[in-house]
C-alpha cells in the first residue's frame, strides 16, 4: 500500500541511479502521452511530494505520476529481465538503468514551472524539506468538528500520510479515530507519531510500526481486526470511516457507504470514544 514513505524511497532510488544521465529511450503507454517523449533529455532530479513523484528534465518539463493504491516504479539494470504486459504504463531508459512504472493511475507531462497545478494544493510534506508542524496544526484545526481519522488523510492538511500511519499514530496517541479534531487532547503528539514512524521506515521497503516484521506483528492495530490488542488484550475493532456520516463516523458498515469510507482499526479500551 503506497504511502509517503514508499514514494520517498522510490524517488531516492530513481534519483541516485538516473539523475544526471541522458534518457536514451522513453515509452509512455497512456492515451494522452501516446506521442510524448523525453528521449535525449537529461534527467535533473526525481523528487517526492507527498504521494506524488516528479521527474524533472533539463528541457523544463516534468513527468508527474501518482501511485494511489497500486502504482509503483521498479528499477532494473539493462541486462535484467522485467515483467511487461498491460500493467506497464511507462518505461524510461538511460545507458545503465531502466525505470518501469506499473499500474500508475495518474501520469502527465507538464512544464516544471507549472508543477503547482498538480501538487500546489498539498499541505506540508510529512517527509519533505517544507515540513511545517505549525502549518499542519493550523490546517487541521481549521475544521475542529471534523473526525481526526479523516482529517489526517486529507492531503491538503499534510501530504504523504495514508491509512497505515494515521491508524497507528492514533493508537499510539490513544485517540479514537472519530474524535473531532477540536477535542483531541494532544494534536501535536498524533502528528509527530505519524512523522516519526514514517521517518523510521522511509529508507526501507518495510512499513513496520512496531519494530517487528511479519504479518500480524508489524503493526499495533492496522489490519489486526478482531485480534487482541498488543497493549491491553482487548479485541481490535475494524470499521469504515467517512466524512459525512454525522455522529456515526466509525461504524461497522458494509461496502459502498456514503462518502467513500476508509477502513480503520482501533482498540476500544486504549482508544476510548
Catalytic residue chosen out of the listed positions 48, 49, 51, 61 = 51
Task: For residue 248, indicate whether it is catalytic.
Answer: no
DSSP string computed for 104-168: -SEEEEEEGGGTHHHHTT---BTTSTT--HHHHHHHHHTSTTSBHHHHTT-TTTSBS--HHHHHH
Grid coordinates standing for 266? 482501533
Rounded to whole angstroms, what are the CA distances from 36 to 27, 91, 112?
8, 12, 16
Task: For residue 227, indicate whether it is catalytic.
Answer: no
Task: For residue 2, indicate whether it is catalytic.
Answer: yes
The C-alpha angle 237, 2, 134, rounded to 5 degrees, equals 80
Strand partners, 42: 22
Catalytic residue chosen out of the listed positions 3, 146, 168, 224 = 3
Separation between Cα atoms, residue 90 and residue 50, nearest integer Å: 21
Question: Helices 187-201 and 133-141 meet at what angle, rounded to 10?
Answer: 130
Catalytic residue chosen out of the listed positions 166, 195, 202, 262 = 262
Catalytic residue chosen out of the listed positions 2, 48, 177, 261 = 2
Active site residues: 2-3, 51, 262
Amino acid at each position: 500500500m503506497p504511502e509517503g514513505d514508499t514514494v520517498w524511497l522510490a524517488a531516492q532510488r530513481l534519483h541516485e541511479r538516473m539523475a544526471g544521465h541522458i534518457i536514451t529511450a522513453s515509452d509512455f503507454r497512456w492515451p494522452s502521452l501516446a506521442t510524448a517523449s523525453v528521449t535525449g533529455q537529461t534527467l535533473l532530479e526525481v523528487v517526492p511530494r507527498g504521494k506524488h513523484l516528479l521527474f524533472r528534465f533539463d528541457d523544463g518539463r516534468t513527468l508527474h505520476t501518482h501511485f494511489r493504491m497500486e502504482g509503483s516504479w521498479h528499477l532494473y539494470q539493462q541486462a535484467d529481465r522485467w515483467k511487461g504486459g498491460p500493467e506497464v504504463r511507462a518505461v524510461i531508459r538511460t545507458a545503465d538503468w531502466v525505470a518501469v512504472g506499473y499500474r500508475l493511475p495518474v501520469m502527465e507531462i507538464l512544464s516544471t514551472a507549472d508543477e503547482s497545478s498538480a501538487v500546489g494544493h498539498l499541505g506540508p510534506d510529512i517527509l519533505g524539506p517544507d515540513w511545517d508542524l505549525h502549518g499542519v496544526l493550523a490546517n487541521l484545526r481549521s475544521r475542529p468538528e471534523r473526525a481526526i481519522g479523516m482529517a489526517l488523510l486529507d492531503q491538503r492538511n499534510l501530504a504523504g500520510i495514508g491509512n497505515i500511519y494515521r491508524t497507528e499514530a492514533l493508537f499510539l496517541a490513544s485517540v479514537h479515530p472519530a474524535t473531532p479534531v477540536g477535542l483531541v487532547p494532544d494534536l501535536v503528539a498524533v502528528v509527530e507519531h505519524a512523522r516519526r514512524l514514517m521517518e523510521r521506515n522511509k529508507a526501507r521497503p518495510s512499513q513496520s510500526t512496531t519494530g517487528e516484521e511479519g504479518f500480524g506483528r508489524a503493526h499495533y492495530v492496522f489490519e489486526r481486526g478482531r485480534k487482541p490488542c498488543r497493549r491491553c488484550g482487548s479485541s481490535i475493532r475494524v470499521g469504515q470511516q467517512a466524512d459525512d456520516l454525522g455522529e456515526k463516523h466509525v461504524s461497522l458498515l458494509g461496502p459502498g457507504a456514503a462518502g467513500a469510507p476508509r477502513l480503520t482499526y482501533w482498540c476500544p479500551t486504549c482508544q476510548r470514544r
